[in-house]
Amino acid sequence: MESIIDTRFDSQENSWLIEINGEIDLFNSNEIKAKLLDLLKERPANLIIECKDLEYIDSTALGAFVAVLKNAKSCGCEMVLKNIRPNIKKLFKITNLDKAFKLEVDINE
């Protein structure tokens, strides 16, 4: 399954609102990372990533998210993952990345 990413800038919140659907894995994680880093270059601002339709991520996706988080923090911005599914939240917990990222609970929990 492919991943679809939709972005828009919210000037009132000074945040990028990002929706990611599908999967992030070895085949598309570099593309997703590049897109998110381009947003930060275009306009440094918080990244609010809506994950309710993100079904699967693998270790390469975690690596991409870590790279984006480091870049966001270096320019004084936050990265928030909203409405993550339990299977994805579990991956963050297993790797202790739940301590590095701001995770908002799954809408179904």
C-alpha radius of gyration, the chain, whole number: 13
Coil, strand, or helix at residue 109? coil
Residue 76 covered by a domain: yes
Please state the pTM of the whole predicted model. Answer: 0.91
* pLDDT tier at 3, thresholds 50, 70, 90: confident
Domain residue limits at 84: 4-103
Residue 19, both tokens = 């929706």
CB atoms within 10 A of CB 47: 22
Residue 52 covered by a domain: yes
Residue 15 covered by a domain: yes
Exposure of 83 in the CB half-sphere (CA atoms within 13 A): 14
Please check the confidence at residue 109 and state whether its pLDDT lies above 60.
no
User: What does residue 72 show for φ and ψ, rounded to 5 degrees?
Assistant: -60, -45
Domain count, the chain: 1
Q: Do 19 and 6 form a contact (C-beta atoms < 8 A)?
A: yes
How would DSSP label each residue in 79-105?
A: EEEES--HHHHHHHHHTTGGGTSEE--
Residue 91 covered by a domain: yes
The whole-angstrom separation of Cα 24 and Cα 16 is 19
**Each residue's pLDDT tens digit, 57-87:** 999 999 999 999 999 999 999 999 999 999 9
